[in-house]
């Protein structure tokens, strides 16, 4: 999937789709003519529940976010906000098992819009920060230990040489307590990425972002820096990608800088479960941007409560009859329980795990990872037993 723009003249943005053989299979055209900069990366998912995936893309100028599908060369929906070089995030914000769109309003105080495309309803807007603008793609994940069952969203707003890193809750778009983080004179227009940086005993994602002082920063939900960050560069960094590229079960931070280098650092305390090493891990997967579901068969995927003494209830939806495997791993990545391993009909499921292994013995207190796997699509859910 690519976006094409002719520079120096006003013309419509074109989004091109190719098959695996490199043959052009579809071409879309933006609703407005563009001049200057163009779009970010397309995000792909069945946001309208039409049975086929749609393409969601933001661009400027003018700033727009639009939804395309294969039925027409023109957009199905047009929103009068967006930003250049920003990729919308797709995440289930309102718990209705449909992916919603998270896209910025660059001209209105750094607002982030959450929109339910399936029901055609706005969900929330973050509070404006006057004088600030949002050039950042949002990142979505379980970030704060203070709200263990809640997904958070992070993005960067800029004001001249100043910036704020915002961390807001998924349900209402409100800033978390003691947020945002003032970045002062260090901001660079890169987007935050999420990774596990504090060891496999910590089930919450941390935030990585690059700055104009040629430094890469890593912080947790308490705004505290994480070892070995900050990392020194010799050029201004682009947005970070997180993934495992050497199959060592530890994730890496990958980014380029404007001095022409590609940087790869091992995230010292990170840990990836076997067979769940999709690349990149928390940048262009379903929680961040890009493809929301790799095979389009698995929706949702959660456990409630995340910390439990007697049991936790899983919830997920299959959009087709699919072979489904649910396995539980301990903090060292060893499989301890196979909860489901069978073909299930289309529908919504709520299996319960009682904290036992395959021998029906209670497992000790600690962090565990539940993997829901359908074909090549998987969802990892960190939970904790605390009896």
33 and 122 both lie in a single domain: yes
Q: In DSSP terms, which residues pair with 257 in a beta bridge?
A: 237
CA 12, CA 217: separation in Å to the nearest integer?
37
Q: Which of 86, 80, 137 has its CA nearest to residue 107?
A: 80
CA 299, CA 320: separation in Å to the nearest integer?
11
272 and 309 both lie in a single domain: no
Mean pLDDT for 285-312 is 68
Return the CA Rg of the chain: 21
Please check whether residue 336 lies inside any domain of the structure: yes
Mean pLDDT for 267-293 is 51
More confident residue, 384 or 378: 384
Question: Which CATH number goes with the domain that contains 362?
Answer: 2.60.40.1930
Say yes or no to pLDDT of 286 above 70.
Answer: no
CA 363, CA 366: separation in Å to the nearest integer?
9
Mean pLDDT for 376-383 is 78
Going from the C-alpha of 58 to that of each of 40, 65, 88, 92, 111, the distances in angstroms are 6, 4, 7, 19, 14
First to last CA, the chain: 48
Q: Which domain holds residue 242?
A: 153-160+184-289
Please check whether residue 283 lies inside any domain of the structure: yes
98 and 210 both lie in a single domain: no
* Residue 65 and residue 79 in contact, taking contact as beta carbons nearer than 8 Å: yes
Please check whether residue 354 lies inside any domain of the structure: yes
Please check whether residue 50 lies inside any domain of the structure: yes
106 and 211 both lie in a single domain: no
Percentage above 70 pLDDT, the chain: 85
Question: Which CATH number goes with the domain that contains 96?
Answer: 2.40.128.630
Rounded (5°) CA angle 157-161-37: 65
269 and 318 both lie in a single domain: no
CA 316, CA 347: separation in Å to the nearest integer?
9
CA 370, CA 384: separation in Å to the nearest integer?
10
Residue 162 CB-density burial (10 A; 0-12 exposed, 13-18 middle, 19+ buried): middle
283 and 355 both lie in a single domain: no
Q: Which of 69, 73, 46 has its CA nearest to residue 295?
A: 46
Final residue before a domain boundary, out of 135, 170, 203: 135
CA 25, CA 22: separation in Å to the nearest integer?
9
Range of lowest pLDDT (31-35, 88-92, 239-243):
31-35
* Residue 196 and residue 271 in contact, taking contact as beta carbons nearer than 8 Å: yes
Say yes or no to pLDDT of 350 above 80.
Answer: yes
219 and 108 both lie in a single domain: no
Say yes or no to pLDDT of 244 above 60.
Answer: yes
Residue 85 Rama label (left phi>0; alpha psi -120 to 50; beta)? left
- The model's pLDDT over 119-140, given as tens digits with 9 standing for 90+, comes to 999 999 999 888 888 878 898 8
3-state secondary structure of 102: strand
Please check whether residue 116 lies inside any domain of the structure: yes
* Residue 270 and residue 243 in contact, taking contact as beta carbons nearer than 8 Å: no
Number of domains in the chain: 3
Please check whether residue 318 lies inside any domain of the structure: yes
- The model's pLDDT over 187-240, given as tens digits with 9 standing for 90+, comes to 666 888 888 888 766 778 899 988 878 888 999 999 999 988 888 888 888 888
* Residue 245 and residue 264 in contact, taking contact as beta carbons nearer than 8 Å: yes
Mean pLDDT for 75-91 is 86
225 and 256 both lie in a single domain: yes
Final residue before a domain boundary, out of 266, 289, 312: 289
Which tokens hold the place of 154?
């992070």
φ, ψ at 186 (rounded to 5°)? -110, 0
313 and 234 both lie in a single domain: no
CA 18, CA 38: separation in Å to the nearest integer?
20
CA 170, CA 173: separation in Å to the nearest integer?
6
pLDDT at position 187, please?
62
Final residue before a domain boundary, out of 245, 265, 289: 289
362 and 276 both lie in a single domain: no
Please check whether residue 55 lies inside any domain of the structure: yes
99 and 127 both lie in a single domain: yes
> How many angstroms from the chain centroid is the CA of residue 67?
18
pLDDT class for 340, splitting at 50, 70, 90?
Answer: very high
* DSSP state letters, 176-243: PTT-PEE-GGGB-S---EEE--S-TT--S-EEEEEETTTEEEEE-TTS-B-TT-SEE-SS-B---EEE
H helices, E strands: number in the chain: 0, 32
94 and 121 both lie in a single domain: yes
Please check whether residue 173 lies inside any domain of the structure: no
């Amino acid at each position: 999937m690519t976006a094409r723009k002719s520079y120096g003249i006003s013309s419509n943005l074109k989004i091109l789709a190719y098959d695996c053989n490199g043959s052009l299979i579809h071409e879309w055209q933006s609703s407005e003519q563009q001049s200057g900069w163009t779009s970010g990366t397309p995000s792909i998912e069945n946001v309208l529940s039409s049975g086929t995936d749609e393409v969601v893309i933001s661009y400027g100028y003018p700033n727009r976010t639009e939804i395309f599908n294969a039925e027409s060369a023109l957009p199905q929906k047009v929103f009068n906000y967006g930003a250049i070089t920003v990729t919308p995030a797709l995440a289930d914000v309102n718990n209705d098992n449909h992916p919603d769109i998270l896209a910025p309003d660059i001209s209105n105080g750094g607002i982030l819009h959450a929109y339910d495309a399936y029901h055609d309803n706005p969900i929330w807007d973050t509070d404006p920060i006057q004088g600030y603008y949002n050039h950042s793609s949002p990142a979505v994940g379980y970030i704060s230990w203070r709200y263990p069952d809640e997904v958070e969203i992070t993005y960067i707003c800029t004001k001249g040489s100043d910036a704020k890193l915002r961390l807001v809750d998924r349900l209402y778009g409100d800033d978390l307590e003691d947020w945002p983080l003032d970045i002062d004179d260090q901001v660079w227009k890169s987007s935050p990425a999420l990774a596990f940086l504090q060891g496999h005993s910590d089930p919450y994602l941390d935030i990585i972002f690059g700055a104009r002082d040629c430094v890469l920063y890593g912080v947790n939900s308490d705004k505290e820096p994480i070892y070995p960050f900050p990392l020194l560069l010799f050029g201004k960094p682009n947005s970070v990608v997180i993934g495992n590229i050497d199959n060592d079960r530890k994730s890496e931070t990958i980014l380029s800088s404007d001095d022409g280098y590609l940087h790869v650092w091992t995230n010292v305390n990170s840990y990836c479960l076997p067979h769940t090493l999709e690349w990149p891990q928390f940048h262009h997967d379903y929680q961040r941007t890009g493809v929301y579901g790799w095979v389009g068969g698995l929706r949702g995927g959660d456990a409630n409560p995340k910390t439990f003494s007697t049991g936790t209830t899983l919830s997920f939806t299959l959009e087709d009859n699919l072979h489904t495997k649910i396995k539980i791993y301990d903090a060292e990545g060893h499989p301890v329980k196979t909860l489901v391993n069978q073909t299930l009909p289309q529908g919504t499921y709520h299996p319960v795990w009682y904290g036992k292994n395959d021998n029906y013995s209670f497992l000790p207190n600690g962090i565990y990872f539940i993997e829901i796997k359908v074909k090549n699509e998987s969802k990892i859910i960190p939970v904790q037993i605390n009896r």
